A and B are shown apart, each in its own frame.
Chain A
Amino acid sequence: MHSGNITIENITKIEGSAGLDVIIENGKVKEVKFKIQDSRRFYTDAVKKKPLISAPSFLSRICGTCSVAHLFATIKAIENSQEIEVTEQTKILRRLAYDALMIRDHALHLYFFVLPDLLGVDSILDIPDDHEDLGHTLLHDSFDIKQLGTDISEVVIGAAIHAPIPTIGGFLKLPDESKFPELIERLEKIRPQVIRGIKAFFNYEASLEQDVDYVALRNENKFDFLEGTLISLDGRKIPSEKFLEHFDVVVVPYSQSEGYVFSDNHENYVLGALARVNLNKDQLNSRTVEDTKEYLKVFPSKNIYHNNLAQAIEILHCVDDAIDILKNIKIVDEKPIKKPIKAGVGIGVIEAPRGTLYHKAVIDENGVVVDYDVIVPTSQNQISIENDLKKYFNENLDKGEEKLKFDAESIIRAYDPCMSCATNFLKIDWIRK
């Protein structure tokens, strides 16, 4: 029986900095403190007084890995504040750019951070240089998958990180269609590699069952990261503009990030790929469904490790969706939609790779940002992460400290948390934890 407290100063193979304290008394877990340690940069305050046109690029700097998510959420919030309705072509190209983000971002998490856990090694650097080794094959698959995500981003939005081309109302420059056939060919070529990854994460036997609800956007017409209504496995339906009425923020005194609970019953919830596939698996691309039938049977799942499998399936969905878009789109020359500046409030709710992302912009009559709010998925998952860890430790204190630490990091990693994102503000009343 493990008796002393357990501390992990720096959890590794995640985005950003976080630590963990587990306080154990009389053979029971008294408290688990998941501490998000990134220093705040106060961007939602720093963006105030800036002209609205500069806000998307500035706020994309909240995060390195999902900067496109913050870019698109900011653009959406500001477009809503200005009552700008973009063209169908803009919507499709944004969807294509978002497919590219998901392919690269999920692959980074799955293959660089989680794969070593699956293989029982410390790092991708420890994977044998042996072409017959599955780990070696999967790792080299990941290089192709990530690179393709990045290359699609470069064609459509100019870069995978802090993309310069998307703007309020549309695109500053339209993609070069002559590059599409090569991308289609590479996407087709990569499908077997992506499916190999899905099989590997399906065979990952780790399990931690949760007693929790799941929340994600759902568009009744298609599997969509950018449009829809928030729904939950327990039957909630939450329009984007009512977001704040349904969630309460909780101050976590030892963490640089707030946590979140449902406002009606104060229960925690989980966001991310697991929530999306739990709630929307019927809408995945038909080719994806055809090739993942066996694996999709596990959903809806309450095993947090299945977030990894859900991400792997989402990569294939995004590959197939990107193929469909690239094959069918005919680019027409158009400029970003512009309207006279007006005062307004706009909300942008989308699905970031790690779950639902909320942006709210308040713009004055001169087109200046006067207030801004951001709620990110990692903050919303924070209390669920702690509850999962508490459950795990209570059930496994008979194990040695090294094993406990390894499993704790694996559980946290399964959520794919991002601390750079998590240290941003929402300005509503706090509940003290």
Chain B
Amino acid sequence: MDTAQTKNKKLAIGWFCFTCSEDSTILFTELLNKHFDEWKKIIDFKHIRSLKTKNELKDLDVAFVEGAISSKTQEKEVKKIRDNAKYVVAIGQCACTGMPSASRNSFEDKDIDDRIRWYLEHFDYNKKVQKLEDVIKVDDKVEGCPMNVTKFLTIMDKYLKLFNII
């Protein structure tokens, strides 16, 4: 059987977080309870800050991106991820729709007091929080707050098959 698995090819993935509660990242770490041994054989975790210090943003097959985009720095970073990944999957509700992280988009001027304004002006904040698709091309979405596990596993399976890993 001339599959990628027999040649020890692994699916090269990255997992990234922007503006969100990181609930889907936590859920992903929970999935490792049951999938760690299996995934370690077929997935190369090239970039995942929640699990490792030595990360590499290069030649990713799939980038999983959680969270909305709320600053120029994040815009730049997510575009770099897009440039280095064959496929990008938006993970969770903030990445897919912007909400609830984009709640401030609906603040009226009178709601923005000096305290909020100080942070908005002092740090790097875009005028509006954007969903991932507003900034880069997205190939797949896993909605939910946190992400829908069944859909995530289906998507993971899809890419493992697409790259002839399984």
Contact = CB atoms under 8 A, between A and B. Distances in A.
Interface residues of A, number: 47
Contacts of A263: none
Size range of the chain B interface in the assembly? 35 or more
Interface string A389-433: 000000000000000000001000000000010000101000000
B104 A409 contact: no
B145 A162 contact: yes
A65 B107 CA distance: 27
A40 B20 CA distance: 9
Given A12-B49, A12-B52, A122-B54, A41 B34 contact: no
Given A67-B21, A425-B115, A122 B29 contact: no
B70 interface: yes
A89 interface: no
Contacts of A40: 119, 125
B70 A39 contact: yes
Contacts of B32: 143
A39 B125 contact: yes
Contacts of A150: 30, 33
Given A13-B53, A253-B122, A427-B115, A64 B30 contact: no
Contact of B22 (A13, A64, A256): A64
Contacts of A161: 23, 26-27, 146
Contacts of A64: 20-27, 146
Contact of A38 (B19, B53, B55, B146): B19
A143 B146 CA distance: 20
Given A64-B21, A162-B145, A12 B103 contact: no
Interface in B111-139: 111, 115-116, 119, 122-123, 125
Contacts of B145: 61, 162
Interface in A1-36: 10, 12-17
Nearest to A46: B103
Kindly name the residue among A15, A40, A64 whose own CB sees the greatest number of chain B CB atoms within 10 A.
A64
11 contacts: A10-B49, A12-B51, A13-B52, A39-B19, A42-B104, A45-B104, A46-B107, A64-B27, A64-B146, A256-B123, A409-B53
Interface of A: 10, 12-17, 38-43, 45-46, 48, 58, 61-65, 67, 104, 108, 112, 122-126, 129, 139, 143-144, 146-147, 150, 160-162, 253, 256, 409, 420, 425, 427
Pick the 10 closest A-B CB pairs, nearest first.
Answer: A64-B23, A46-B103, A123-B52, A143-B33, A64-B21, A64-B22, A64-B26, A147-B33, A12-B53, A39-B70
